[in-house]
Structure 1
Amino acid sequence: MKPVSYMTAAMCVLSFGPGVLPAMADSVKKEMTGQQLAFDNKKGNCLGCHTAPTDPAAVTQANIGPPLIVISQRYPDKAKLRTQIWDATVANPKTVMPPFGRHSILTEQEIDKVVDYVFGL
């Protein structure tokens, strides 16, 4: 998404009224990075169960799931990592990991961003 210039914002306000700016801010705010999605407790919430020792921003004492470390070695096939995040019950029906894709917790694009972030850990 292209950043909105001050001139564009001013023209929108003059043309459509002041209500357009909050709508523009909401659309910009929705573009989250994979790390932000993984850390957000209303989205991925990975830190609710996992540690990510190689990311200094990942502050948690979680110990339910395995640590998110050397993921590209544990999942050399990125598609299998994506499947795990989309629906972990495919590989383990008794898992406590939520099926983020199957239950529409994350969109397809959000899952791709989380996969890219986690794959780099």
Structure 2
Amino acid sequence: MKKTLAVMFTLPMLLSSLAIPVLADNVAEGKKIAFQRRGTSGVGNCLACHAIADGESPGNMGPPLVAIKARFPNRNDLRARLYDPTVANPISAMPPFGKHGILTDEEIEKVIDYLYTL
């Protein structure tokens, strides 16, 4: 009984300590990555295809990036879409940012932090 209670109280604390907090710096860096154009490292170039609030010269090939948290309430679903969009849509024009090493896992997480503010 004592072990069961210890696990019941310890497990939630352990899991909450594993959660990655969303920091203002991550959001700012994620926005920078999303807005960067070709020719720089850590380039997201999201504006090439998507309209984003405050973005200059957006494309209209992809959907506007609004209400992201409502559209992707499960963060892992959004991460999978950024990592390799061809899994959900084999003919997607969106580049597989993670699969092809365009962005690192850390950069993808920062972009997600930013997108969740939209």
> TM-score w.r.t. structure 1 length?
0.69
Q: Which runs of no fewer than 5 residues in structure 1 stay unpaired?
A: 1-31
Task: Identify the residue that residue 33 of structure 1 maps to in structure 2.
Answer: 29
Q: How big is the shift at 1:118? A: 1.0
Q: How does 1:5-16 map to 2 (within 5 A)?
A: none
> Which 5+ residue runs of structure 2 have no aligned equivalent?
1-27
Greater relative contact order (Cα 8 A, min sep 6): structure 1 or 2?
A: 2
What is the letter of the counterpart of residue 45 of structure 2? N
Residue 36 of structure 2 aligns to which amino acid in structure 1?
D
* Structure 1 residue 60 displacement after superposition: 2.2
Give the RMSD, CA atoms, in angstroms.
1.2
Task: Measure the CA separation in 2 of the matches of 1:89 and 1:119.
Answer: 22
Q: TM-score, normalised by structure 2?
A: 0.70
- Mapping of residues 1-121 of structure 1, within 5 Å: 33-42=29-38, 43-52=43-52, 55-56=53-54, 58-121=55-118
Moved over 3 A (4+): none
- Taking only the aligned residue pairs, the percentage that are identical comes to 47
Structure ID, larger Rg: 1
**Post-superposition CA distance 1:87-107 (Å, at most 9, x none):** 100100000000000000000
Cα distance in 1 for partners of 2:44, 2:83 equals 11
**Equivalent residues, number:** 87
